Amino acid sequence: MNRLLDIMFRGFIQKGNLHVTYSDGSQRSYRGKQPGESAGLRFYTSQAERALLFNPGLRFGEAYMDEGLGPEGCSLEQLMRVLMTNIEEHSLFSEEVSRRLRYAGRLLRPLNSLGRARTNVAHHYDLDQRLYRLFLDEDMQYSCGYFESDDVSLEEAQLAKKHHIAQKLKLDRPGLEVLDIGCGWGGMALTLARDYGARVLGVTLSVEQLEVARQRAREAGLEDQVTFELLDYRTLHRKFDRIVSVGMFEHVGLRDYATFFRRVHDLLRDDGVALIHSIGRMDGPGTTNPWIAKYIFPGGYSPALSETLAAVEQSGLWVADCEVLRLHYAKTLAHWRKRFEEHRAEIVQLYDERFVRMFEFYLLCSELAFRLQGHMNFQLQLTRSIEAVPLTRDYLLQAA
């Protein structure tokens, strides 16, 4: 077994150095041809060694959760930096085969039905709200902040994100009717109502999020302006002046992109404006990591702009503006990881050690995907009318 892993690592490590201690106590060092960071990996069980030979994209995370492997002489972040950098340089043969099979089967996956969508959302977003309160900002924004400088706090970055989006929605008069698709715990909807005088309908498929959002609306005295419902956007049949969706498009499903943008078109009034904020990828269409798909976001996929814009083009909508946010999510995740670690003991009490190892692995690998592997965020401003927004971006600066 060690011999096979030895061959695998010798071919895999092209950049930096990896020192491996196997479960039988033997040790090997693998030095890449290119300079880079160094890290250590220790196998605690032979089961983890066997698992890593096949579908390592899934099995490495599982082995870490089960304490079958871990960093040695370094942090988990240092270890994952070395591994994820080398994945970009030179994928393992077994992982490349798995990736190609996943890619070939993308369009064979079932459509994202109403029932499947609700099940997928519940897997992650119906976790105990106390978990999210321990590492998110005070407003419980579960998407990337907008870092106008390096020294702003998480709270400041999330507030800036909401106002940045509001400016693109062009909320230039009170009373505009806004649809918030995938409203989370209600922070965006409440901000648009309180600070811009909008009347907002927020829809979610998460029972936990719905309960929190409604409670927050009551506490803020905004029940007359904000309504939250447990609804799928595809079941709505009324018109809105504005539509906003933050961090929801990643869950739509590749085969449903055209449906999503057609519904946005049909739900917008003729002079309406929509703002779609999503995680994306800069290097073209790809696949979701199998560990993320199994344990964190079943049905989730971060789209390339080429895939997204192709669907917009079928909808009759104008792309009035497109902004790519680089590293904003990496900075956000760094804040979340720090807060998660500070409350680690409390989270173990809420769940257990295996859950905590799963979640910390998810937060770390997500951050590194934005730092090392071409993930980013994009914001699409969409309109039905060619004249719905000003001809230049100057109005965004004037509203700031």
- By annotation, the residues acting in catalysis are 365
Classify each residue of 227-257 as buried b or exposed e, where b means 16 or more C-beta atoms within 10 Å of its C-beta.
Answer: bbeebbbbebeeebbbbbbbbbbbbbbbebb
DSSP-derived secondary structure letter, 111:
P
First to last CA, the chain: 60
For 227, residues 6+ apart whose C-beta sits below 8 A from its C-beta are: 200, 201, 202, 217
Phi, psi of 199 (to 5 degrees): -110, 115
Going edge to edge, which strands form the sheet with 226-230?
Answer: 226-230, 199-204, 177-181, 240-246, 268-281, 375-383, 318-325
CA distances (Å), origin 6, targets 12, 14, 307: 10, 14, 39
Q: How far apart are CA 280 and CA 370, in angstroms?
A: 10
